Amino acid sequence: MDREFLTDLFADFGPVTIRRMFSGYGISADGINFALSLRAGLFFRADEVTIPDFEAEGSKPFQYSTRAKTVVVNSYWELPARLFDDSEEFVQWARAALAAAQRAKVKKRPKKRAASKVAPKKSVAKKTAGTAAKTTVRRAGKATRPPQLAERRRKRAHRSK
């Protein structure tokens, strides 16, 4: 499916954003991706509410093969072929897919950040009004490193071997 076909297909649904993704396109509305157009077909976002509709139509979830196994992605299901000819019902299915994507977005929790292994930085004392601020002047051209820094790096590299 090319971009023009997808634009025409979703015309009755409303404004969508179509972006290149994998071997096809990702289709989103209101910043939420709810459909994938790939070589294998058009796939809509699904969840526990909408999967029974896809199963009733004989659709299957999106799947792809790796060298080791076949991966089944239950969150995207193939759109029944009959819906390409019925724009009203297509829009209903597209709205249901967008709603499923919105529900999935609400379920996602922010990931916890891993505790940093680096010790926290020590607080820097504030300068008093009487202390003059230092200014650093950088010259254009090749940067040189102080010899002490190079020596420390050489010793560190030697120790780690």
Q: Degrees (nearest 5) of the Cα angle 14, 15, 18?
A: 125
More confident residue, 122 or 153: 153
pLDDT tens digits for range 116-130: 555 555 555 555 555
Alpha-carbon distance 44 to 34, whole Å? Answer: 6
How many of the other CB atoms lie within 10 Å of CB of 102? 16
Question: Is residue 145's pLDDT more than 80?
Answer: no
Alpha-carbon distance 37 to 10, whole Å? Answer: 12
Average pLDDT over residues 5-12: 92
Contact 18, 2 (CB under 8 A): no
Average pLDDT over residues 90-110: 87
Write the burial class of residue 78 (CB in 10 Å: 0-12 exposed, 13-18 middle, 19+ buried): buried
- Residue 111 amino acid letter: K
Q: How far apart are the first and last CA of the chain?
A: 56
Alpha-carbon distance 37 to 23, whole Å? Answer: 8
pLDDT at residue 106 in the model: 80
Q: Report domain extents, the chain.
A: 3-105
Domain 3-105 has CATH 3.30.700.30: no
Q: CA separation (Å) from 68 to 23, 65, 71, 76, 152?
A: 20, 8, 10, 22, 47
User: What DSSP string runs through 149-160?
Assistant: HHHHHHHHHHHH
89: part of which helix (H) or strand (E)?
helix 87-107
